[in-house]
Amino acid sequence: MSVNPETPSSRGNDGIWGLHRQISGGPLQLDAVDLERLLPVDRKKLLLDKVISLQPGVHGVAEKAVTAGSFKFRSQQRDEFLFPSTQAFSALEQLALVILLSAEGLQSGDQWPSLSSINEMKVAAEMVEPGLLHIHARIVDQEEFSSGALKRFTFEGVVSVNGEDFVTASWEMEAGKS
């Protein structure tokens, strides 16, 4: 996959966060505009409103406000709210992409990091009331294959709502040359 030369990730980290890193060595914060520029995800499918704490290549914490108007399904002729656990996992996957892409800018010929396996996913219950999701993800292991062209990253994460864990998961993502 070729990378658009206008995207910030193709210019490396300094193109996006150079000034921030000159000012502070602390965690980064990203708003919706930053996320739209960084992630290869259509705006309508973005499941992160903002990243409130990001240590590139290590961990991130994000938020997503889920409203009744955002996620509805029809059940016995009436609308009911439901935010499925699969959507919560997709938010974890998007945060993992932010963690990886913020650490290493993509160069021409690089593939976007992608989900390669879900090792474990536990769902406490489906989310049936609107609320504020807190999404936490961190890299717990990484492996570089002998050719150096492919890396595998193991993540752990949790999505909580109103202080209760909603989804916990462990998954792997791969990134490398095409």
In the chain, how many domains are there? Answer: 1
Q: Which residues contact 135 (CB under 8 A, 6 or more apart)?
A: 48, 61, 62, 63, 64, 88, 91, 92, 95, 157, 158, 159
Spans of the chain below 70 pLDDT: 1-27, 68-79, 81, 104-110, 146-149, 177-178
Side chain identity at 6, as an amino acid letter?
Answer: E
CATH number, domain at 127?
A: 3.10.129.10
Return the H-helix or E-strand segment holding 125.
Answer: none
Cβ contact 64:133 at 8 Å? yes
- What's the pLDDT at 6? 36
In a domain, 3, yes or no: no
Range of the domain at 45: 8-177
Single-letter amino acid, residue 163: G
Query: Does residue 1 fall inside a structural domain?
Result: no
Whether the CB-CB separation of 159 and 167 falls below 8 Å is answered with yes
Q: Where are the beta strands (DSSP E) in the chain?
A: 28-30, 50-55, 59-66, 72-75, 78-81, 110-123, 131-144, 150-161, 164-177
pLDDT in tens, 58-102: 999 999 988 766 555 545 555 676 778 888 999 999 999 999 888
